[in-house]
Amino acid sequence: MGIGTDHRGRYIQDIWNFDLETLEKEHDYIQWLFPLKEGSKYNKNAPLLTAEIIETFKSNMIIKGYLLESFRIMLRFYGFELVPTMNGTIVAKSSDFNERKQVWLSRCNHNYLRITRILKSLTILGLKHLSIKRQTNSISILIDY
């Protein structure tokens, strides 16, 4: 809900405000943004998903929005973006993909573990696809289950 902190006293908004360099060098935030059912050997303080928490994620629009924002942050880090299409929203390479891939697209890179965690967490939490609904002055992102 954006009111609690991680083991280092950081709110989710603090992590969202990390610059790209900090997203690369810090290693203990990804478990907070994208929790799993099993513990992390890299962050013993990370929260674990329970059946109750999973159901809360699926039914709470605020938490869904936070998960989506965390996903957007990590997409930006990897050089991707969410792009609306007539059939919903897709993940596509952003204009800085060639620059961003230099950071993570190499053999034996720790970011592959991060990507696996992100995909696994999103799947567990029911995020199958995204769709865009245009409103008067803004774009509202809906998570469709």
Each residue's pLDDT tens digit, 60-83 = 989 988 999 999 999 999 999 988
Tokens 């008067």 belong to residue: 136
Q: Which residue has the higher pLDDT, 106 or 85?
A: 106
Instruction: Identify the pLDDT of residue 86.
Output: 81
Tokens 């998903």 belong to residue: 49
Share of the chain above pLDDT 70, in %: 88
Is the pLDDT confidence value at 145 over 70?
no
- pLDDT band at 129, cuts 50/70/90? low
Cβ atoms of 44 and 53 closer than 8 Å: no
Nearest CA among 116, 121, 128 for reference residue 46: 121
